[in-house]
Amino acid sequence: MATQRINGSEAVIKSLLAEGVDTIFGYPGGAIMPIYDALYDYDQEVTHYLTRHEQGAIHAAEGYAKVTGKVGVCFATSGPGATNLITGLADALIDSIPLVCISGQVASPLLGTDAFQESDVVGISLPVTKWNYQVTHAEEIPEAIAKAFHIALTGRPGPVLIDIAKDAQFAQIDFEYKKCTKIRSYLPEYPVDPFQVKAAADIINEAKKPIVLFGHGVVLGGAEAELKEFVEKTGIPAAWTLLGLSALPSEHPLNVGMLGMHGNYGPNIKTNEADVVIAIGMRFDDRVTGKVAAYARQAKIVHLEVDPAEINKIIHADAPVLGNAKKSLRMLIDNVAPNSHQEWLNEFRACDKIEYEKVISHDIHPKKVGLTMGEVVRIASEKTNNDAILVTDVGQQQMIASRYFKFTQSRSNVTSGGLGTMGYGLPAAMGAKIGRPDRTVFSMSGDGGFQMTIQELGTISQYNLDVKIIILNNNFLGMVRQWQQLFFEKRYSFTEMKNPDFVGIAKAYGLASQKVTSRDQLEGAIQEMLDHNGPYVLEVVVEQEDNVFPMIPTGASISDILLEP
C-alpha cells in the first residue's frame, strides 16, 4: 500500500477501516475531538452511534461483538469518559469479549501534570484489559491499532484499550497500514496435540455415564457444529453454562439444560454421578461448581480449553486438550466411537420431570393471580418461534430468562456472565440489534438494572433501534431480596424501590410503550410489541416476592441443589 500524508486522527479512522470496522459506539469530549473531527468525513464508510453514557457505548460494543463475532469498537474522551469504560472493560475481560476501545488523552507534554481531564487510564485499566497501550507519537497509531485487533480477537478474546495523546492525534504521518498476524512471545492458540486428543478419546470411549459441559468457548471458537456432531456421535448428554447457552439448540434431544446456581436439577445432580465429565470451552466458574471440594470428585475430567491458564485452575484435568474448541472437537470426533447412553439420558429426563412438577410448571404456567417472570419469558419465546436474540440484564430476570427462553441458533443469548453487571442489558441490546438488524432482539431487565442505564432510551430513540424492551418490574432489587428472604431472615435492607412511571419515561423519549398488570393483558401486549414497527417498551408488573428456583446455596455442593425453599 502506498503511503499517505495524513494526521494521526485520520490514521485512526483509516486503520479501523482497514480492519473492516463499519460500526463505532462512542461519546466525544475535548481530548478526542480531533478523532471525532476526522470521523466527520467518513460517514459513508462507518456509522457512529452516539450513546448517552460511555458505559452505554462499551456495553453496546459488547452486545454487537457477541452477536456478530466481530470486534466491538468504542470511543471515549479522557478522564471521566475513559473511566466510564472501566466496568465494560472488566465485563468484557471476564466474559472474553473482543473489543477495541480508543480513548483520547491529554497532550503528551501535559502527561503527569494533573491536566484537565487527565486520568491514568492505562494504569486504571491494566487489570481489566487483555492489552492496553498509550500512544504519544502519531507514527505509532497504525501498528498499535493493528496489534489491538490481533490481540482482541485471537486465542481467548478480550478487550484492548488504546489511549491516544491529543498531540499524536494532530501530528502528520506517512500512513501505511499492515495487519498484524503475529507478535513475539504472544501465542494465542496452541496447536492441538494428537496425543492429548487420543488420551481424552480413550477416557470418553470407556465412559458409562459421561456428561458434556459446554461454555462460551464453543461460541467464541465457532465450534457449534462440531459440538453437535460430537454429542450426536457419542450420544452424550450436554449441559451448558450461562454463556454457552444457545450454542446447541434448546430442543436438541441431548441438550439437558443449564448448569450452576439457578440451573436445572438434572445436570447439576448428574455432574456428581457422572463417571466422565467433558468440559468444553468452560472455566469451572464458582457459580457452576458450587463447593469445589464436593464437585465431580468421582469423575475423570476431560477439559478442552484454549487458555492454558484455565486448565487445572479450579478442577484438575485428567485429560486436558489445549487448543481452539473447533479444532480440538474435530480431532476428537475422529477418535471417539459411536455410542448411545439412552438409560443415562433417561435419568436426566426423570430429573426434568421432577423439576417440571415442582418448579417449572408454576413458573411458566402459573395458577396464582400475580404475573410471573417465567410466563412472560415463555410467551416472548413462543411468539418469536424460539428464534429471537435475548439480551438480559442481571438478577432474577436473567436467571429466569436463561432457564425458559428457547433458542434455535447460536449467538442468540447476550448477557453479562462473569461480572454480573447490572445496567448491561439495555445498551447491549442496542448493540445486538445494530449487529443483527435482521433478527428480533429482546432486552429484558429488572426495574433496578433498567434504571442503571435507562438513559440509553435516548440512543434507541435517536437511531430508531427496533429493540423490544421488557421491564420485569417487581419493585425490588429482586435477586438481593431473594437472598435476604432466604439467608438473612427476610430483613429487606434497602432493596425496595419506588419506581418512576416507565411508560411515561418511554413516551417522553418518543417510544411506544405499554404497562401490563394482569394475565389477560399479557399475550396481547407482547403481540402488540412485536407487531409494532420500531422500538417498544413493555413494563410488566410481576409478583413482588417471587423466587428463582432451583438454587444451590453459596458454598453448598451441586448435589444439594434445592427445588424449593
Ligand X SMILES: Cc1ncc(C[n+]2csc(CCOP(=O)(O)OP(=O)(O)O)c2C)c(N)n1
Segment near ligand X (CB under 6 A), from 29-37, 78-86, 440-448, 506-514? 440-448
Asked whether position 79 contacts ligand X by CB under 6 A, the answer is no
**Residue 166 annotated to the active site:** yes
Asked whether position 447 contacts ligand X by CB under 6 A, the answer is yes
**Residue 327 annotated to the active site:** no
The single residue of 4, 116, 527, 544 carrying the catalytic annotation is 116
Taking CA 352 as the corner, what is the angle to CA 351 and CA 354, rounded to the nearest 5 degrees?
A: 65
Which residue lies nearer to ligand X by CB, 202 or 545? 545
Asked if residue 71 lies in contact with residue 21, where contact means CB atoms within 8 angstroms, the answer is yes
Cell of 210: 459421561
The single residue of 444, 479, 529, 551 carrying the catalytic annotation is 479
| Length of the chain (residues) | 565
Binding to ligand X (CB under 6 A) within 218-247 occurs at none
Residue of closest CB approach to ligand X? 446
Segment near ligand X (CB under 6 A), from 19-27, 49-57, 204-212, 446-454? 446-454
**Closest CB 426 distance from ligand X, rounded Å:** 11
Query: What is d(CA 443, CA 450) in angstroms, rounded to the nearest whole number?
Result: 10
Segment near ligand X (CB under 6 A), from 3-11, 109-117, 253-261, 445-453? 445-453
Q: Distance of CA 439 to CAs 349, 393, 409, 442, 465, Å?
A: 32, 19, 11, 10, 12
**Closest CB 498 distance from ligand X, rounded Å:** 13
DSSP state letters, 256-322: EEE-STTS-HHHHHHHTT-SEEEEES----HHHHBSGGGSSTTSEEEEEES-GGGTTTSS--SEEEE
Query: What is d(CA 33, CA 253) in angstroms, rounded to the nearest whole number?
Result: 54
The single residue of 10, 14, 19, 54 carrying the catalytic annotation is 54
Binding to ligand X (CB under 6 A) within 338-397 occurs at 393-397
**Closest CB 7 distance from ligand X, rounded Å:** 39
Asked if residue 473 lies in contact with residue 541, where contact means CB atoms within 8 angstroms, the answer is yes
Query: Rounded to an integer, what is the distance from CA 230 to the centroid of its chain?
Result: 24
Query: What is d(CA 101, CA 285) in angstroms, rounded to the nearest whole number?
Result: 27
The contact mask relative to ligand X for 395-434 (x = CB under 6 A, - = no) is xxx----------------------xxxx-----------
The single residue of 66, 166, 406, 433 carrying the catalytic annotation is 166
Write down the residue that cell numbers 452511534 correspond to. Answer: 49
Asked whether position 446 contacts ligand X by CB under 6 A, the answer is yes
- Report which residue type is found at 551: M
Residue 244 burial (10 A CB sphere; 0-12, 13-18, 19+) = buried
DSSP code of residue 16: H
For the chain, the straight-line distance linking the first and the last C-alpha, in angstroms and rounded, comes to 66
Binding to ligand X (CB under 6 A) within 453-512 occurs at 472, 474, 476-480
Binding to ligand X (CB under 6 A) within 512-551 occurs at none
**Residue 468 annotated to the active site:** no
The single residue of 33, 117, 170, 232 carrying the catalytic annotation is 117
Binding to ligand X (CB under 6 A) within 108-137 occurs at none
Query: What is d(CA 233, CA 336) in angstroms, rounded to the nearest whole number?
Result: 8
Backbone conformation region of residue 244, classed left if phi is above 0, alpha if psi is from -120 to 50, else beta:
alpha
Which residue lies nearer to ligand X by CB, 303 or 468? 468
**Closest CB 443 distance from ligand X, rounded Å:** 12
Q: Which of 98, 449, 458, 535 binds ligand X (CB under 6 A)?
A: 449
Which residue lies nearer to ligand X by CB, 210 or 449? 449
Segment near ligand X (CB under 6 A), from 8-16, 256-264, 443-451, 516-524? 443-451
- Interface residues with ligand X (CB under 6 A) are 393-397, 420-423, 446-449, 472, 474, 476-480
Residue positions annotated with a catalytic role: 54, 116-117, 166, 479
